[in-house]
Amino acid sequence: MVSEHYIRRAVFPGSFDPITLGHVDIINRALPLFDEIIIAIGVNTAKNYMGTLEERIAKIEAVFKGNLKVKVTSYKGLTAAFCKKENAQFILRGLRNTADFTYEQTIAQANEKVNGVDSVFLICSPEYSHISSSIVRDIARNDGDYSSLIP
């Protein structure tokens, strides 16, 4: 058995409101890199979500049912603090474009400098680069069909 210290554990944080095919793509492509990926749903009581926390957890668990390398949970507070609590050495992030990179770069550098948690970026597959949870929510609010964007 591998000692706890040598387990490569990544946290993939987000609201996952809802989880999209882009999220699933990043997770599936990251699975060979890590022993465990914790899909961590950040809780922000000031935010108005489309799905409840319980619904989002259930949906993600259904998508990754049977995959023992994927764990789904929620957390409050700083992502880096949650990583420390979970003994996760990495934060996994998906990038769709240069704007995502510019936004994520400063956060990643701060997390590494202040908290010692490295970020691993995966570029999303081209067929998913147009998908975001906010676009899905906007389509849903306007009674559009978003079924091709989510699992």
132 is catalytic: no
User: Active site residue: 9, 56, 93, 96, which one?
Assistant: 96
Catalytic residue from among 5, 47, 65, 113: 47
Residue 71: active-site member: no
Rg (CA), the chain: 15
In sequence order, the β-bridge partners of residue 42 are 75
Q: Is 96 in the active site?
A: yes
**Exposure of 51 by Cβ count < 10 A (0-12 exposed, 13-18 middle, 19+ buried)?**
middle
Dihedrals φ, ψ of 61, to 5°?
A: -60, -35
Which is catalytic among the residues 9, 15, 23, 56? 23
134 is catalytic: no
- CA dist 65 and 80 (Å) reads 26
Residues contacting 4, CB < 8 A, separation 6+: 87
Q: Is 5 exposed, middle or buried (0-12, 13-18, 19+ CB in 10 A)?
A: exposed
Q: What is the side-by-side strand order in the sheet with 118-123?
A: 70-75, 36-42, 9-14, 90-95, 118-123
Q: Choose, from 15, 56, 93, 133, the residue flagged as catalytic.
A: 133
Residues marked as catalytic:
23, 47, 96, 133
